[in-house]
A and B are shown apart, each in its own frame.
Chain A
């Protein structure tokens, strides 16, 4: 076992009914100390993967290895994997302290050792005062932290988190993201995190595996995933994204030219198109588009402002360009900001390397 293969999914298939594969030929290595996020829409198989790792589901085919050991035949209570559940699953009839003591007691840890570990864990999530409360007397954020402490208190080799922040409101969710991130950094534990919230994934992870239809579409670090999506699904799923449809007219090494339905030629990076004549979908991040810029760009097109939405720090501008009237540009709200009005004509420009020619869907 190398440090790179702390957890290894080896050709894992999973089907519940013998007709549909929920997870298809999954191969995934997770290294020790890594924070890996499985990201995808609901029904994409990410939670199933987590459940197989925790031992609540068995792979239909293939094997999962933990520290080099196949774990399919180890029952969940012998795996030594901590887990934070959706809606926390704190035992409602036990106090916070008893909840934390539970995993230690079943492991027959000595009483004073238990006391010490529970205290450390509670202090770690800043809930030292709350040991004697019942879980339902705590706020959502506090319950979340108790769940986290409970998953960590018995020092598991691996922690799984199944959409743990889903039930929190936006502010609390952001705060908890940082807290989880810091705890991970401080104790250096390996975390496998499941979410459908892409901003959560981008904030916390070392690597993100984007799931769709039972397959990993792309696995890479957050910045690469955002900047260089290699399929139209990933481009659309991560962050905001403008899409322009067209046909490939020429390919020159790394770049290509795509002609839109309305006849404009767009220069773009060739990502996963094969040959001239293929349909393609060009993906372009809204913040990489310039309005009425004086600099020189490869792509310059005329557009008409359709709608302006004031969002405080920026103005979300919807334009019509190349036959697409859902084209979004974010205009920063600075004092030198542009004075745009609905119906006015502007010039939009962007670099070749910011527009990515992906397969048409």
Chain B
């Protein structure tokens, strides 16, 4: 029997069994595919494509090359010593003059990332170049006359990093690094180093929130899983109630509670636990972010924990007690290890949501409680530096993938149970 491999088995009609099976199953497969097709297409167009296009932006530097194609071509011939030649000045002059205002605006924004000052310089030049005729060369001195920064080799050198249409500059920026004009990686100036600090803070807040969610969620889940059904249903509703309330409403309620003249501080002062002038600063800092995020993310910890604990037979604990273990020992050695899939699923879920969180830190975080998500939003909406947003988002994605991989190695992804 063992010598017959599966592929070798024939049906009674002599067709290989595998082929016959495939044929018989084809209809089912097509039907299954048709059923998932709408969702698949939806996800593709609204999730995969935007993420893909966003990620390409994080390395894409071709726009500037399209606005100043000739300048960048002649620029490459420059030996980067002193000021560039008249040829470079001339092509730059012509391309600034000819490009549309929209293109110039966008391109100068990009140039400004490399060295601040470019944007105002180009804007001013675009206006003043109108008065200078195209045949009125040489342009070098005239341009310096318009804005003396044209005579500063630093600015010209800064263009060097943009010659290549793909760039890792945004990724460098995400860790407070940048290219110098020779494309060496150097630190950002002291006052512009913000991202490394923010990354560390983001991790710290996410880990703390996950920890507090676990500490608060574990006993509740245990109670939920062990109470008789009529009580546990009520408790479950209490856990889920926040889910049904608007996120903004919940955050505003927290603001009412946590502010300096808020409910909590008033209570502490009235009960004499703290002095009126020593009211606690619980909001517009990291503390506020952690408190509010813990409350908001708690259900994501409770639900997976509950569903796992529900499957742990109460007989395990009974057996452990019966065998002579104290309740604490029985819990630690028997119950806890069996709830690990729930702990890891809940922890993973809360951490992944927390690390990219945006709205809570934005509203209650103040300056100190900002997380990486807030910077992504800031660059997306305010500075329009989409490349940097995309790079920060891309790094976040990589971190989550790595975490997922480590988790899978350590615990095994099949151990995650969400219900």
Which B residues from 94 to 114 make CB contacts under 8 A with A?
none
> A229 at interface (Cβ–Cβ under 8 A)?
no
Interface pair A91/B319, CB less than 8 Å apart: yes
Q: Is B7 an interface residue (CB 8 A)?
A: no
Given the contacts A56-B318, A85-B315, A85-B318, A93 and B338 also touching, CB distance less than 8 Å: yes
With most chain A CB atoms within 10 A of its CB, the pick from B318, B319, B320, B330 is B319
Contact with B along A60-98 (1 / 0, CB 8 A): 000000000000000111111111011101111100000
**Please, which residue of chain A has its CB at the minimum distance from the CB of B338?**
A93
- Return A29 CB to nearest CB of chain B, in Å: 23
Question: In the assembly, what is the distance between CA of A41 and CA of B113, in Å?
Answer: 81
Q: Are A154 and B319 in contact (CB under 8 A)?
A: no
Counting CB contacts under 8 A, is B66 at the interface? no
| A76 contacts B329, C-beta separation under 8 Å | no
Say yes or no: A86 contacts B315, CB within 8 Å.
Answer: yes
Q: Which residues of B contact A91 (CB under 8 A)?
A: 316, 319-320, 334, 338
Q: How far is the CA of A107 from the CA of B325 in the complex (A)?
A: 8
Among residues 297 to 338 in chain B, which have CB atoms less than 8 Å away from a CB atom of chain A? 313, 315-316, 318-327, 329-330, 333-334, 337-338
Nearest CB in chain B to that of A78: its residue: B324
- Which residues on A sit within 8 Å (CB–CB) of B338? 91-93
Number of interface residues of A (CB under 8 A): 26
A85–B321 alpha-carbon span in the complex (Å): 12
Query: Once the chains are docked, how many angstroms separate the CA of A62 from the CA of B185?
Result: 83
**B323-362 interface code vs A (CB 8 A; 1 in, 0 out):** 1111101100110011000000000000000000000000
Q: Chain A's nearest CB lies how many Å from the CB of B148? A: 75
Question: Which residue of the partner chain, among B319, B327, B329, B333, contacts A85 with CB atoms under 8 Å?
Answer: B319
Complex interface: chain B residues within 8 A of A103 (CB): 323-325
Q: Does residue A130 face the partner (Cβ distance < 8 Å to B)? A: no
Q: Are A89's CB and B318's CB within 8 A?
A: yes
Q: How far is the CA of A220 from the CA of B324 in the complex (A)?
A: 33
Report the nearest B residue to A98, measured CB to CB: B333
Q: Which residues of B contact A56 (CB under 8 A)?
A: 318, 321
Partner of A106, one of B315, B319, B325, B337: B325
Q: Which of B313, B326, B333, B334 contacts A77 (CB 8 A)?
A: B326
Closest CB in chain B relative to A87 CB, distance in Å: 7
Contact A81 B322 (CB under 8 A): yes
Q: With A91-B334, A93-B338 as given contacts, are A150 and B315 in contact (CB-CB < 8 Å)?
A: no
Inter-chain contact B325/A77, CB cutoff 8 Å: yes
What is the predominant secondary structure among interface residues of chain B facing chain A? Answer: helix
- In the complex the two chains form, is B323's CB within 8 Å of A102's CB? yes
Q: For A92, list chain B residues within 8 Å (CB).
A: 338
The listed residue (B315, B322, B324) touching A107 by CB distance below 8 A is: B324
Contact with B along A145-186 (1 / 0, CB 8 A): 000001000100000000000000000000000000000000
Q: Assuming the A-B contacts A91-B334, A93-B338, A106-B329, are A76 and B313 also in contact, with contact meaning beta carbons closer than 8 angstroms in the complex? A: no
Whether the Cβ atoms of A89 and B316 lie closer than 8 Å is yes
A residues less than 8 Å from B318 (CB atoms): 54, 56, 76, 83, 85, 89
Residue of A nearest to B340 (CB): A93
The reply to whether B319 and A83 contact each other, CB–CB distance below 8 Å, is yes
Q: List B contacts of A86 (CB < 8 A).
A: 315
- Docked Cα-Cα span, A81 to B329, in Å, equals 18
Chain B: minimal CB distance from A112 (Å): 20
Please tell me if the beta carbons of A75 and B315 are within 8 angstroms of each other in the complex: no
**Residues of the B chain whose Cβ atoms lie less than 8 Å from the Cβ of A106:** 323-326, 329
Q: Is the CB of B322 within 8 A of A82?
A: yes
Min CB distance B154 to A, Å, is 65
Q: How far is the CA of A92 from the CA of B339 in the complex (A)?
A: 11
* Inter-subunit contact A54/B322 (CB<8 Å): yes
Q: In the complex, which residue of chain A has the Cβ closest to the Cβ of B329?
A: A106
* A150–B327 CA distance with the chains assembled, in angstroms: 19
A89 to B315, CA, bound (A): 6
**Smallest beta-carbon distance A205→chain B, Å:** 22
Closest to A107 in B: B324
Q: Give min CB distance, B315 to chain A, whole Å.
A: 4
Q: B417 to nearest A CB, angstroms?
A: 14
- Which interface residue of B320, B323, B327 has the most chain A CB atoms within 10 A? B323
Query: Given that A86-B315, A89-B315, A106-B329 are contacting pairs, would A154 and B323 also be in contact in the complex, using a CB cutoff of 8 Å?
Result: yes
Q: Is there an interface contact between B324 and A83, defined as CB atoms closer than 8 Å?
A: no
**Shortest distance from the beta carbon of B339 to any chain A beta carbon, whole Å:** 10
Q: Which residues of chain A are near B315, meaning CB under 8 Å?
A: 85-87, 89
Distance in angstroms from A199 CB to nearest chain B CB is: 25
Q: Is the CB of A89 within 8 A of B321?
A: no
Whether B324 pairs with A77 at a CB distance below 8 angstroms is yes
Cβ contact of A80, chosen from B316, B324, B326, cutoff 8 A = B324
Q: How far is the CA of A86 from the CA of B315 in the complex (A)?
A: 8
Residue of B whose beta carbon sits closest to that of A77: B321
Distance in angstroms from B344 CB to nearest chain A CB is 14
| Complex Cα–Cα for A309 and B227 (A) | 49
B residues near A55, Cβ cutoff 8 Å: 321-322
CA distance A303 to B277 in the complex (A): 102
Residues of A close to B322: CB separation below 8 A: 54-55, 76-77, 79, 81-83
Within 8 A of B (CB), among A267-297: none
Q: How far is the CA of A81 from the CA of B334 in the complex (A)?
A: 19
Across the two chains, which residue of chain A brings its CB closest to B319?
A89
B321 touches A76 (CB 8 A): yes
- The interface centre, meaning the residue of B318, B326, B330 with most chain A CB atoms within 10 A of its CB, is B318
Residue-wise interface mask of B (105-142) relative to A, using a CB-CB cutoff of 8 A (1 in contact, 0 not): 00000000000000000000000000000000000000
- Indicate the member of A55, A90, A103 with the most B CB atoms within 10 Å: A103
A89 to B321, CA, bound (A): 12
Task: Give CA–CA (A333, B411) in the complex, Å.
Answer: 61
A82 contact set on B, CB distance < 8 A: 322-323
Q: A56-B318, A76-B318, A106-B329 are in contact. Are A89 and B313 (CB under 8 A)?
A: yes
* Cα–Cα distance between A202 and B212 once the two chains are bound (Å): 56
What CA separation (Å) do A91 and B337 show in the bound complex? 10
Q: Is the CB of A102 within 8 A of B316?
A: no
Say yes or no: A93 contacts B337, CB within 8 Å.
yes
Interface string of B211-251 (1 = CB under 8 A from A): 00000000000000000000000000000000000000000
A-B contact pairs, 16 of them (CB 8 A): A54-B318, A76-B321, A77-B323, A77-B325, A77-B326, A77-B330, A81-B322, A82-B322, A86-B315, A87-B313, A89-B316, A90-B319, A91-B334, A107-B324, A150-B323, A154-B324
Q: Which residues of A contact B (CB under 8 A)?
A: 54-56, 75-83, 85-87, 89-93, 102-103, 106-107, 150, 154
- Extra contacts, 14 of them, besides A76-B322, A85-B318 (Cβ < 8 A), are A55-B321, A56-B318, A56-B321, A77-B330, A78-B324, A85-B315, A91-B316, A93-B337, A102-B320, A103-B323, A103-B325, A106-B325, A150-B323, A154-B324
3 nearest interchain CB pairs? Answer: A103-B323, A89-B315, A89-B319
